[in-house]
Amino acid sequence: MASSATHYFDQLRKTRVWRSIFRGGTGSSTLRRSLAIQQDVFLHLFPTKVRRRMLDISVTWYLGTLTFGTFLILVATGILLMLYYHPSVPQAYADTKDLQFVVSSGLFLRNLHRWSAHAMVFLVFAHMFKVFYRGAYRPPREFNWVIGVILLLITLLLSYTGYLLPWDQLAFWAITVGSNIASAAPVVGDKVHFLLLGGNLVNANALLRFYVLHCMILPLTAIFLIAIHFWRIRKDGGLYVHQSTPAAAGSDVTVKEAR
């Protein structure tokens, strides 16, 4: 049974259609395997070769992958929620209630979006703590750490902008308080507040701006930076696998050996 499935798959890989889509060709030589990674637009971001040790759960706890997983869930559920949500003052709250009580599976999708958002914030922090305490931010990975910090800020901004969209009391006052914090910045604070809200009050303009930020600008920026983040793992020599031992902390010699 299994061997016949493999046989059909091998036959499929020889067809002209398959060969026109996937250029790597058949066979399982090292060259073919590496070409399969290199010639795929998604997989080429990742290393062609991975040491088995890198995939051990103890190395990363898969926290980065899990973060990306929640991001994908958020994109999928978010696009579906957009089909029923109007970012306008008279409709936003009613649409949110409709999603809760009227739309089929609306409650499930909204709750999935909400819980994934909470999980993503948690996982981003967990991922960063793991990277920090293992010392995986050290050269040559220091620029990937910087991208990671920007991605943390984008994650928080996505949470913040998404908070306003239900247009309930909690949302309104949270954004009132949050945007007033922005205006506490020296010199440019009031201007930032005005540009962020598109006015002086949390109003129709603010709702629309937060919607555009939440659904277009911030996710696209995040996808762009995530692509670089993954590609840098490959360019910086794969995932960091060494255990940082307490003895290595004080001594230069041990640190050199560890690298």
Partner 1 sequence: MPEEKPGQSATNNELDRRSFFVKLGLGSLSIATAGTTVFAYQFLSPNVLYEPSPIVNAGKPESYPLDSVTLDVNSGIYIVRSKEGFFSLSAVCTHLGCLTAWKPELGIIACPCHGSKFTRDGKKIEGPAPKPLPWYRVWVSDDGDLMVDRSSPVRSMQFLKV
Contact between 201 and partner 1 per CB under 8 A: yes
Contact between 245 and partner 1 per CB under 8 A: no
**Measured from the CB of residue 91, what is the shortest distance to partner 1 in angstroms?**
17
Amino acid (1-letter code) at residue 128: M
Task: Show contacts with partner 1 in window 107-146 (CB under 8 A).
Answer: none
For partner 1, which residue of 203, 243, 245, 254 counts as binding (CB under 8 A)? 203
Please give the structure tokens belonging to residue 62. 């898969």
Q: What are the percentages of helix, strand and coil residues in the chain, rounded to 5? A: 75, 0, 25
User: For partner 1, which is the closer residue by CB, 59 or 92?
Assistant: 92
Which residues are within 8 A (CB) of 200 and not within 5 positions of it... i.e. 6 or more apart? 194
Q: Residues 90-109, buried b or exposed e (16+ Cβ, 10 A)?
A: eebbebbeebeeebeebeeb
What x-and-dash track marks residues 177-196 binding partner 1 by CB under 8 A?
x-xxx------------xx-
Please give the structure tokens belonging to residue 248. 């290595």
Q: Which residue matches tokens 């709702």?
A: 207
Please tell me whether residue 186 adopts helix, strand or coil conformation. Answer: coil
For partner 1, which residue of 173, 185, 257, 258 counts as binding (CB under 8 A)? 173
For partner 1, which residue of 200, 243, 251, 254 counts as binding (CB under 8 A)? 200
**What is the distance between the alpha carbons of residues 174 and 229, in angstroms, rounded to a whole number?**
31
Among 5-13, 172-180, 240-248, 250-258, which window interacts with partner 1 (CB under 8 A)? 172-180
Binding site for partner 1 (CB under 8 A): 173, 176-177, 179-181, 194-195, 198-201, 203-205
